Amino acid sequence: MSIVDTPERRQLRELTRSFVTREVLPHLDDWEKAGEVPRALHASAAKLGLLGIGFPESVGGSGGDLLDSIIVTEEVIRSGGSSGLIAALFTHGIALPHMVAAAGVGIGGSLGGMLGGTSTPGDDDLVQRYVRPTLAGTMIGALAITEPDGGSDVAGIRTTARRDGDHYVVNGSKTYITSGHRADFVTTAVCTGFPGSGSISLLVIDKDSPGFTVGRRLEKLGWHCSDTAELSFVDVRVPVANRIGEEDTGFLAIMQNFAAERLSLATQAYATAQRCVELAVRWCRDRQTFGRPLASRQVVRHRLAEMHTRAEAARAYVHEVAVRVAAGEPVVTEVAMAKNVAVAACDQVVDQALQLHGGFGYMRDAEVERHYRDARLLGIGGGATEIMNEIIVKGMGL
């Protein structure tokens, strides 16, 4: 039996599938049109313990580890959800881990625990004020790193935070921020000294802080049910108590949490591929052309076989890397390779699944059409494919 296929994890799959079937599928099209998911969805996911998966019970989570988070992500998409829904409902997966880790609490099987040791008294307070309510589904958080001048070069951020007594004064702007419209607080990367990786800190900024404005809702190719925002900070006063960990430790915190985010994106990629294989098989069985089902033609059967093989190979590799991450191995290169392998599989499978659907594949009514649009983000977010390649060549010693 695979380590990711235990009886407990099968139960977790069942729980996730019934949640998606009951609470998501009847409404997903409406949320795609509305451009966001409702707050009530966070509350119902929290009630079932799904929001807290991968977070320790001591901070209000449901326990479990990175592999459990992967199971939930995979099952949401395979049950008919989408990567856009994952982005919107599970934004706390990128907004909270730095706070939990800085408070000295290891996040089960993720890299978060490695951040312990930079804990300050304020970090326990942040857990009470932001982590617990978010995992209870009563608050929404976002993570803001990317700026209009660039996202790949995290060390080059320009948003500044100048110390003034027991506050920081923040100036700058962020863009493409997931859940930025709905968020009650934003975990924000700021520069607290001379520009560069050694001067980045993380501040938790409340939505209602004077000088903090949320700009227009950005319209996108995909991820329509996930709201995406521009944020502006003009002389925003943020209490020093809202700093995560010690000053200037933000770059390390961001990099260490990237592993979990990249594995989540890799999971979204192979799960989207798997879902599209299922949709294509169903379609090819039913669709008749020239008097026979599409699935009876050898060229179609072989194409489906190749799609299935790609999706399964990606899934096996992502799981292998996730198991190593959960065991605490330093596998930065492998995480980057896992993301690129899964994204490449997804891109090809989704494209072919849409092609097999013919004209219907191009229609909004077709689920495969949504996956085709949503999938395009996976090779851009959380470190683009080219940035993963940079990490991989470093790992090769080049």
Ligand X SMILES: Cc1cc2nc3c(=O)[nH]c(=O)nc-3n(C[C@H](O)[C@H](O)[C@H](O)COP(=O)(O)OP(=O)(O)OC[C@H]3O[C@@H](n4cnc5c(N)ncnc54)[C@H](O)[C@@H]3O)c2cc1C
Q: How far apart are CA 181 and CA 339, in angstroms?
A: 28
CB 380 to ligand X: min, Å: 5
CB 229 to ligand X: min, Å: 9
Binding site residues, ligand X, CB under 6 A: 142-146, 150-152, 176-178, 220, 223, 228, 377, 380-381, 384, 386-387
Q: How far apart are CA 357 and CA 2, in angstroms?
A: 34
Closest Cα partner for 183 from 45, 60, 91, 82?
91
Instruction: Note the Cα 383 to chain centre separation in Å.
Output: 12
CB 241 to ligand X: min, Å: 23
Which residue is it, tokens 């080059």? 156
261 among known catalytic residues: yes
Interaxial angle between packed helices 7-19 and 66-78, expressed in degrees from 0 to 180 and rounded to the nearest 10: 40
Catalytic residue among 36, 147, 230, 261: 261
391: buried, middle or exposed (CB in 10 Å: 19+, 13-18, 0-12)?
A: buried
Which residue is it, tokens 């459990």? 68
Q: How far apart are CA 329 and CA 343, in angstroms?
A: 23
Give the nearer residue to ligand X in terms of CB position, either 171 or 385: 385
CB 102 to ligand X: min, Å: 18
Q: How far apart are CA 101 and CA 131, in angstroms?
A: 11
Q: Which tokens belong to 47?
A: 């009630």
CB 342 to ligand X: min, Å: 17
Which residues are catalytically annotated? 261
